Amino acid sequence: MPSQRALGVAVVGTGKMGADHVRRLQRVVSGARVTAVVDIETERAKTLADTIEGCAAYSEPAAAMAAENVDAVLVASPGPAHEAALLDALGRDLPVLCEKPLTPDAAAALRILDAEQKLGHRRIQVGFMRRYDTEYMKLKQLLDRGELGRTLMLHHRHRNPAMPPWFTEEMLINDSVVHEMDVTRWLLDQEITAVTVHKPAPSSYAPEGMSDPQFVLLETESGALVDVEIFGHCGYGYQVQAEAVCERGTVRIDDEHGPRLTADGRWGGRVAPDYLERFADAYDREVQAWVDATRRGETTGPSVWDGYASAAVCEAGVRSQREGRRVEVDLIERPAFYQ
């Protein structure tokens, strides 16, 4: 039912992403407040909770969800912990915003899909924040109008200055290229049917045992081709770019968000240092939209189906990464519940 009071949110996971969402809910977003934080690192959770009036720290998501002042859940813990938290939330019929990935594998995503359908209504929004980025939204609107004809190709670039020491080669697909997989499905309104991962000679700055950068080729239902350059250790900053090649023109999303200076015979600008800065507005817009919809008694945005479909594409991508060949995506028929 629609609610007039502030939404009490439990944030599960208080690492870099979770802590930023706590800040966002407390200082940026209207209509919500953080009433619980959850982390297996109990001291970190307690330290954060102590900075917020009326907020309690927990070591287990289920305990936080049982609190009387928790109306909704924002899941920002590592992917392997998502399934248990999401099933607990569905068991309590609590609205959820779950950071990507929904789950690390398609089988777990299917279990969430089944549980939500049995509940009988949507409760989970998946955190694919690029759908809330101003430039991507404009690109989507332009492609949907059809003035440029069919989209024949998409070119994506995704570059990070460096990855954490625990980041694996598989995570280049599951935690990075997953964004391009989702935004491709959304922009073209069709599913991805096959993935091929190519590995050029690795950068000398790539960690031992990791092939970085990589070139990922996606095929879609309509025959469009989509390429993704993923470069995890480019060294100079965080860049995300996209270009749609259509029958009657092209459209490009660049990474220039700040001023562009021309002086002393040179031109240039600033490159964002990380994703939290580059997509700050998108995260703000995403969380505000989730809070507003939840207070209206609705669930909008990317669905569990979107999370499952992306997980299935990621599985094909990791297989291609390992086996060095084209791999078809194994996707169930889309349930009417998610049409």
Q: Summarize the confidence of residues 122-143 as an average pLDDT.
A: 97
Q: Summarize the confidence of residues 115-140 as an average pLDDT.
A: 97
Provide the CATH topology of domain 131-274+311-338. Answer: Dihydrodipicolinate Reductase; domain 2 (3.30.360)
Mode of pairing for the β-strands spanning 266-268 and 261-263: antiparallel
Q: Is the dihedral of CA 178, 303, 106, 77 positive or negative?
A: positive
Asked if the model's pLDDT at residue 114 lies above 90, the reply is: yes
Looking at every residue in the chain, the average pLDDT score rounds to 95
> Which pLDDT tens digit goes with each residue over 170-191?
999 999 999 999 999 999 999 9
Asked if the model's pLDDT at residue 266 lies above 90, the reply is: no
Provide the CATH topology of domain 7-129+281-302. Answer: Rossmann fold (3.40.50)
Q: How far apart are CA 240 and CA 58, in angstroms?
A: 36
> Which pLDDT tens digit goes with each residue over 10-41?
999 999 999 999 999 999 999 999 999 999 99
Asked if the model's pLDDT at residue 221 lies above 60, the reply is: yes
**Residue 3's pLDDT is what?**
58
Q: Domain spans of the chain? A: 7-129+281-302, 131-274+311-338
**Residue 257's pLDDT is what?**
63
Sheet containing strand 225-231, edge to edge, reads 249-253, 239-246, 151-159, 225-231, 214-220, 192-198, 327-328
